[in-house]
Amino acid sequence: MGDELISRRVRILDETEDSDQSAAGPVPQEIVINRDLPEESKQSVPSAGDKHERCQSEDLLVPPADSPIDQKRMRKFAAPFPTAVPQDPRSPRLEVKAPIPAAAATPVVEEQKRSSSPSVKKQNVVQRKKVVAPVRVVPPAIHRLLAIYNESTEGENWSQVINERNVVIHKKTIEGSPVVLVKGVAILEGVPLRVMYEALADASIRTKWDNLMTNFEVIESLPEDSSEVIHFVIKAPFTVQDRDFVQRRTTIFDYPQRGQILMHFESIDHPLRPITSKYVRAHTTIAGYMFKEISTFPLKCSLSIVSQVDIKGYIPKSLVNMCAGRASRGWVESYKKGCVAYLAEMKAKKK
């Protein structure tokens, strides 16, 4: 009885399948391709009818629990339908792009949101470090020199020695010092600031216009504070012994303002140049030069001078103090001529 029931239902299913295929028309291309596959593929790949049989088996062909079931035939209905159908190599190849998994797509979206957020934009901007100029350490002696430059000469302690065109010289008596302090300003027209500095600082150039200086040499260089130890000899008049100097010379560029040059001198002792009987060792309490450009058109530069020097020896200090200002006047004139000659020499080399 059970076998007859199953055979009857299978016969009804076959008739239903034939009627469905005739009503649906020709078989789709995919089904034709699958039927053209080799026999091995036909056995492993179920057809559309099998799929239909599976659906019908799930809905209609479930036998009663008390009916005997042919396990082999039911295994056919229960077989899982494959998710992909092999393609005939003779047909055009179909390429199916696999969708991007949600787990992989999510970080991209989050990354785009993160890169477009204002906080991330601020982080991506390269922050330039603020360049802080090193603090210049200026020795106290330089401050004293600047205080003298800035001091007004209209006070009663200052007396004017020279007041000519482009040259003004004052002197001042210092309490507790046997020698006077000399302060002057010279204006040079048409001479660049660099030429003025080199004509005074370079010994090979200075000795061409300064007839009193000789035997100039640099004993030691001190680059940590832009200083050097120098030694030179100043010729004295007849019957007077020559004087020699050992000084610490400090040169600061762009100080006290940009474009200016400051030079400071003070006497020191150095083992390489001890005091000898050949010269009288003079003493420089304070001295200095400041180079400054006044105007560009027309070109004018100024040289400010400060000097307090004790030439020692047996010459009366009163005589030395009386001649201090006027001696500076002659030195300034020689310096001007030396700058003009050096400038002409530089122009000749360029041609």
Q: How confident is the model at residue 166 (pLDDT cuts 50, 70, 90)?
A: very high
Residue 262, beta-bridge partner list: 252, 290
Q: How confident is the model at residue 238 (pLDDT cuts 50, 70, 90)?
A: confident
Do the strands 243-253 and 261-267 form a parallel or antiparallel pair, or are they unpaired? Answer: antiparallel
Listed in order, the ranges of the chain carrying CATH 3.30.530.20 are: 140-350
Q: What digits encode the pLDDT tens for the residues 48-86? A: 455 444 444 444 444 555 555 555 455 544 444 444 445
Q: What digits encode the pLDDT tens for the residues 77-115? A: 444 444 444 555 554 444 444 555 554 444 444 444 454
Which pLDDT score, from 0 to 100, does residue 120 have? 47
**Residue with more model confidence, 50 or 250:** 250
Residue 11: φ, ψ to 5°:
-65, -40
Tell me how far apart the alpha carbons of residues 102 and 96 are, in angstroms, rounded to a whole number: 18
Which pLDDT score, from 0 to 100, does residue 328 have? 85
* Residue that has been written with the tokens 């091995």 in this structure: 40
List Cβ neighbours of 32 (8 Å cut-off, separation of 6 or more): none
Which pLDDT score, from 0 to 100, does residue 55 have? 45
Contact (Cβ atoms closer than 8 angstroms) between residue 161 and residue 170: yes
Specify the CATH architecture of the domain 140-350: 2-Layer Sandwich (3.30)
User: The pTM is what?
Assistant: 0.62
